[in-house]
Amino acid sequence: METVRDGAADRTVMPLSLSQREVWLDQRAWPDSTHLIIGGALFLDGPLQLDLLRRSLGALVAESDALRLVPHADGNQSLLAAFDAELEVVDLDPQVNLREAVRSWWDRRMDDTFAWDVAPPWNFGLLRQGPDRHVIMIQFHHLVMDGWGTSHVMQRWSDIYNAMQAGQGLPSTDDPGYVSFIEESNAYRDSAAFERDAQYWLAQIPQLPEPMVARRHAAVHDGQLPVARLGRESVLRADYDRLKQLAVDRNSTAFNYFLAALVLYFSRVEQRRNVVIGVPSLNRGGRRYRATLGMFVGVVPVSVNLTPDMTCEGLLAAVGLAMRGALRHPRYPLSELIRALEMMRQGQDNLFDVLLSFERQDYDCSFGAARLTESRQLFSGRARYPLSVTVCEFLPDQDLELVLEGSSACFDD
């Protein structure tokens, strides 16, 4: 990949990765929408050294390509040689409800939308309620970070903080860096593998699927996507653990069970023999980029065929087959398939109406004596799809949260 100086000695201009380009196209379609803002809150109990937290954040930014990327409106980006990380600190009254303060910080930052060409598109904040109650807030534009990456932001930040506190050097890492992925991604675009993936997806979805969710209300076209109607349900950890074991016993996964339930529901309600559900794929090349900070994820359309005499075992087998095929071809951009199917010409706004996502954080990070007690994902409040279903699996002893985001163009309260 060729890079060129833009006239300033402290930045290098480079293209977006294919994953980033999908996000860039989405943001261009809805220029004023905040639906591509992701992040969450980490609740900590115990004393925290503010100066050390700031210094460890600075070290994290210095070593991470993705945290020094500045996306441009023209579809390129700049990698800054250095960037001074800022941590907003908010001291809260002891009587303030901490969860309400979290929502207030998030909403205030959502109103201050990220601008092109200016600075890396992220915010870090610390809410303090006395010496032993803290909440770390993280917020990114999807152009530079995905959900898996946000969990590794916190893990790496924690590791650096603890190493500095112990008077040690920065923990070693074999992370190849996000720039390496950008180079690989753009090389793939001109490869035979790209053409093979194109043939696979056109064989899986040879024509545009009919919508599954009716548009009942007019969508507001002011540069923003429709408001999301949010519903939350708890899934007891004991129930989920039983489901995971059942899935293992049947050579399946808990994710496939959730996906099979959605496929079955829409097949019955809409009288369909074929159901297409969107599923985010990590797209991290196996383990090579597993801990790399950045935007890797791609959305794959999982197409499942059903028959009237299908058993539960048959449905799970069909879902498993469709998922295995999709995850063998995760790099192909969804926008390419949309273009080939002429979706825009046919007046549809989505290739699929339902998105199923798992958000999993399998770490137990601490900042010195400040221990993680709870982790929460926060949502933009805008609906990209008629229905998005997110399963949030965070701490091992914490119940799961099932979040339903229904577009106000399709659902009432």
CB 326 within 8 A of CB 332: no
CA distance 233 to 261: 16
Per-residue pLDDT averaged across 14-27, rounded?
Answer: 97
- State the amino acid at position 123 in one-letter form: N
Look at residue 3 in the predicted model and tell me its pLDDT: 55
Average pLDDT over residues 310-316: 94
Angstrom distance (rounded) from CA 225 to CA 222: 8
| Residue 87 to residue 215: CA distance in whole angstroms | 42
Helix boundaries (H) for 47-144: 50-63, 98-111
- pLDDT score of 141: 96
Spatial contact of 41 and 154, defined as CB atoms under 8 Å apart: no
Per-residue confidence (pLDDT) for residue 396, from 0 to 100: 77
Segment 272-287, tens digit of pLDDT: 999 999 999 999 987 8
Take residue 134 and report the two structure tokens written for it: 């803290």
Segment 237-285, tens digit of pLDDT: 999 999 999 999 999 999 999 999 999 999 999 999 999 999 999 999 8
Give the amino acid at 314.
G
Q: How many residues does the chain have?
A: 413
Closest to 77 in 3D by CA, of 169, 147, 179, 165: 179
**Is beta strand 387-393 parallel, antiparallel or unpaired with respect to 354-360?**
parallel
Phi, psi of 242 (to 5 degrees): -65, -40
Taking the C-alpha atoms of residue 56 and residue 70, their distance in angstroms, rounded to an integer, is: 21
Mark out the alpha helices in 208-292 (DSSP H runs). 237-249, 254-270
Would you place residue 306 in the very low, low, confident or very high pLDDT band (cuts 50, 70, 90)? very high
**CB 281: neighbour CB atoms within 10 A?**
18
